[in-house]
Amino acid sequence: MIWPCSRRSRRGSVVLEFALAGICVMTILPSTVRLCIGLWNYHTVAYAVHEAARYAASHGRGCVTGTSTCGITVGKIMANISTNAIGLSSSSLSVTLKTDSGATTACAPITACDSNTTRWPPTSNMDNLTGKKVTVSASYTFTAGALLAWPGGGSLDFGTFVFPAQSTQTILF
Protein backbone atom coordinates (compact mmCIF):
# COMPACT_ATOMS: atom_id res chain seq x y z
CA MET A 1 0.00 0.00 0.00
CA ILE A 2 1.33 3.38 -0.98
CA TRP A 3 0.36 6.36 1.11
CA PRO A 4 -0.31 9.55 -0.82
CA CYS A 5 1.69 11.66 1.62
CA SER A 6 4.56 9.81 3.18
CA ARG A 7 6.74 11.05 5.99
CA ARG A 8 9.59 11.49 3.66
CA SER A 9 7.70 13.95 1.42
CA ARG A 10 6.69 16.10 4.41
CA ARG A 11 10.24 16.55 5.57
CA GLY A 12 11.21 20.26 5.88
CA SER A 13 7.64 21.53 5.70
CA VAL A 14 7.85 23.02 9.20
CA VAL A 15 10.90 25.04 8.24
CA LEU A 16 9.22 26.25 5.07
CA GLU A 17 5.99 27.20 6.89
CA PHE A 18 7.93 29.05 9.57
CA ALA A 19 9.92 30.92 6.95
CA LEU A 20 6.75 32.05 5.18
CA ALA A 21 4.88 32.99 8.35
CA GLY A 22 7.98 34.33 10.12
CA ILE A 23 8.65 36.93 7.45
CA CYS A 24 5.14 38.33 7.89
CA VAL A 25 5.36 38.31 11.68
CA MET A 26 8.80 39.91 11.71
CA THR A 27 7.47 42.70 9.50
CA ILE A 28 4.14 43.29 11.22
CA LEU A 29 5.37 43.19 14.83
CA PRO A 30 7.86 46.10 14.63
CA SER A 31 5.39 48.06 12.49
CA THR A 32 2.70 47.62 15.13
CA VAL A 33 5.06 48.73 17.88
CA ARG A 34 6.04 51.85 15.89
CA LEU A 35 2.38 52.63 15.20
CA CYS A 36 1.64 52.41 18.93
CA ILE A 37 4.53 54.77 19.71
CA GLY A 38 3.15 57.23 17.14
CA LEU A 39 -0.33 57.09 18.68
CA TRP A 40 1.14 57.60 22.14
CA ASN A 41 3.07 60.65 20.86
CA TYR A 42 -0.11 62.11 19.35
CA HIS A 43 -2.03 61.63 22.59
CA THR A 44 0.83 63.18 24.58
CA VAL A 45 0.91 66.27 22.33
CA ALA A 46 -2.87 66.70 22.61
CA TYR A 47 -2.73 66.34 26.40
CA ALA A 48 0.16 68.81 26.78
CA VAL A 49 -1.61 71.40 24.60
CA HIS A 50 -4.86 71.03 26.54
CA GLU A 51 -3.10 71.43 29.87
CA ALA A 52 -1.16 74.47 28.63
CA ALA A 53 -4.38 76.14 27.47
CA ARG A 54 -5.97 75.44 30.85
CA TYR A 55 -2.90 76.83 32.58
CA ALA A 56 -2.97 80.01 30.49
CA ALA A 57 -6.73 80.49 30.89
CA SER A 58 -6.52 80.17 34.66
CA HIS A 59 -4.06 83.07 34.82
CA GLY A 60 -6.18 85.82 33.30
CA ARG A 61 -6.89 89.34 34.52
CA GLY A 62 -7.39 88.26 38.12
CA CYS A 63 -3.73 87.30 38.24
CA VAL A 64 -2.33 90.66 37.18
CA THR A 65 -4.52 93.08 39.16
CA GLY A 66 -4.26 94.02 42.78
CA THR A 67 -1.67 92.30 44.91
CA SER A 68 -1.81 88.98 43.10
CA THR A 69 1.43 87.95 41.43
CA CYS A 70 0.35 84.81 39.63
CA GLY A 71 0.81 86.23 36.13
CA ILE A 72 2.54 83.92 33.69
CA THR A 73 4.94 84.35 30.83
CA VAL A 74 5.44 82.64 27.49
CA GLY A 75 8.44 80.83 29.01
CA LYS A 76 6.29 79.44 31.83
CA ILE A 77 3.73 78.14 29.33
CA MET A 78 6.50 76.44 27.35
CA ALA A 79 7.81 74.91 30.59
CA ASN A 80 4.27 73.65 31.30
CA ILE A 81 4.11 72.04 27.87
CA SER A 82 7.55 70.47 28.32
CA THR A 83 6.49 69.06 31.67
CA ASN A 84 3.36 67.48 30.21
CA ALA A 85 4.95 66.32 26.94
CA ILE A 86 6.89 63.50 28.55
CA GLY A 87 9.01 61.54 26.13
CA LEU A 88 8.67 63.92 23.19
CA SER A 89 11.65 65.52 21.53
CA SER A 90 11.45 69.26 22.17
CA SER A 91 13.28 69.93 18.91
CA SER A 92 10.35 68.39 16.99
CA LEU A 93 7.61 70.30 18.84
CA SER A 94 6.41 73.72 17.67
CA VAL A 95 3.84 75.76 19.62
CA THR A 96 1.73 78.80 18.75
CA LEU A 97 -0.14 80.88 21.33
CA LYS A 98 -3.08 82.93 20.07
CA THR A 99 -5.45 85.34 21.79
CA ASP A 100 -9.01 86.41 21.01
CA SER A 101 -7.80 89.57 19.28
CA GLY A 102 -5.47 87.59 17.03
CA ALA A 103 -2.15 88.31 18.74
CA THR A 104 0.12 85.32 18.22
CA THR A 105 3.38 84.11 19.66
CA ALA A 106 5.15 81.30 17.81
CA CYS A 107 7.80 79.07 19.32
CA ALA A 108 9.45 76.74 16.85
CA PRO A 109 10.83 74.68 18.53
CA ILE A 110 9.57 75.25 22.05
CA THR A 111 13.09 75.61 23.39
CA ALA A 112 13.32 78.91 21.46
CA CYS A 113 10.89 80.46 23.96
CA ASP A 114 12.20 78.97 27.22
CA SER A 115 13.54 82.31 28.41
CA ASN A 116 10.77 84.50 26.93
CA THR A 117 9.55 86.77 29.76
CA THR A 118 6.65 88.31 27.82
CA ARG A 119 3.45 88.19 29.87
CA TRP A 120 0.79 85.98 28.35
CA PRO A 121 -2.12 86.38 27.80
CA PRO A 122 -1.08 89.93 27.01
CA THR A 123 -2.81 92.92 28.59
CA SER A 124 -2.87 94.73 25.24
CA ASN A 125 -6.27 94.65 23.52
CA MET A 126 -7.67 93.44 26.87
CA ASP A 127 -6.83 89.85 25.90
CA ASN A 128 -6.60 88.82 29.55
CA LEU A 129 -10.18 89.75 30.47
CA THR A 130 -12.77 87.30 31.72
CA GLY A 131 -14.64 85.76 28.78
CA LYS A 132 -11.79 86.13 26.30
CA LYS A 133 -10.38 83.00 24.69
CA VAL A 134 -6.84 81.72 24.53
CA THR A 135 -5.74 79.12 22.00
CA VAL A 136 -2.69 76.93 22.23
CA SER A 137 -1.82 74.92 19.14
CA ALA A 138 1.12 72.67 18.47
CA SER A 139 2.55 70.40 15.84
CA TYR A 140 4.86 67.49 16.51
CA THR A 141 6.97 65.95 13.77
CA PHE A 142 7.05 62.18 14.13
CA THR A 143 9.44 60.18 12.01
CA ALA A 144 8.39 56.62 11.34
CA GLY A 145 11.46 54.55 12.04
CA ALA A 146 12.79 51.51 10.37
CA LEU A 147 10.44 48.66 9.75
CA LEU A 148 13.31 46.38 8.87
CA ALA A 149 16.83 46.94 10.12
CA TRP A 150 19.57 44.66 8.92
CA PRO A 151 22.71 44.32 11.04
CA GLY A 152 25.14 46.96 9.89
CA GLY A 153 22.71 48.27 7.30
CA GLY A 154 21.31 51.18 9.31
CA SER A 155 17.65 52.00 9.05
CA LEU A 156 15.26 53.03 6.34
CA ASP A 157 13.08 56.12 6.74
CA PHE A 158 9.55 55.37 5.59
CA GLY A 159 7.94 58.72 6.26
CA THR A 160 7.43 61.72 8.45
CA PHE A 161 4.10 62.59 9.99
CA VAL A 162 3.03 65.87 11.59
CA PHE A 163 0.66 65.49 14.51
CA PRO A 164 -1.40 68.66 15.10
CA ALA A 165 -3.14 69.54 18.35
CA GLN A 166 -5.16 72.59 19.41
CA SER A 167 -7.05 73.64 22.50
CA THR A 168 -9.10 76.77 23.14
CA GLN A 169 -10.08 77.81 26.66
CA THR A 170 -12.07 80.74 28.00
CA ILE A 171 -10.61 82.90 30.76
CA LEU A 172 -13.01 82.44 33.64
CA PHE A 173 -11.65 84.89 36.24
Report the pLDDT averaged over residues 5-14: 67
Total domain count for the chain? 1
Looking at residue 23, its amino acid is I
Residue 4 belongs to some domain of the structure? no
Residue 32 belongs to some domain of the structure? yes
Q: How far are the Cα atoms of 29, 74, 139, 149, 163 from residue 158, in angstroms, in the given order?
A: 16, 35, 19, 12, 16
Residue 53 belongs to some domain of the structure? yes
Q: pLDDT tens digit string along 17-76?
A: 888 888 888 888 888 888 899 899 999 999 999 999 999 988 866 665 555 566 788 999
Q: Which domain holds residue 56?
A: 12-148+155-170
Q: Name residues whose C-beta falls within 8 Å of residue 49's C-beta, 6 or more positions apart in sequence.
A: 81, 95, 136, 137, 138, 165, 166, 167
User: What CA–CA distance (Å, rounded) separates 68 from 78?
Assistant: 22
Quick check: 121 and 132 in contact, CB under 8 A?
yes
Q: pLDDT tens digit string along 64-107?
A: 555 556 678 899 999 999 999 999 999 999 999 999 888 999 99
pTM, to two decimals: 0.77
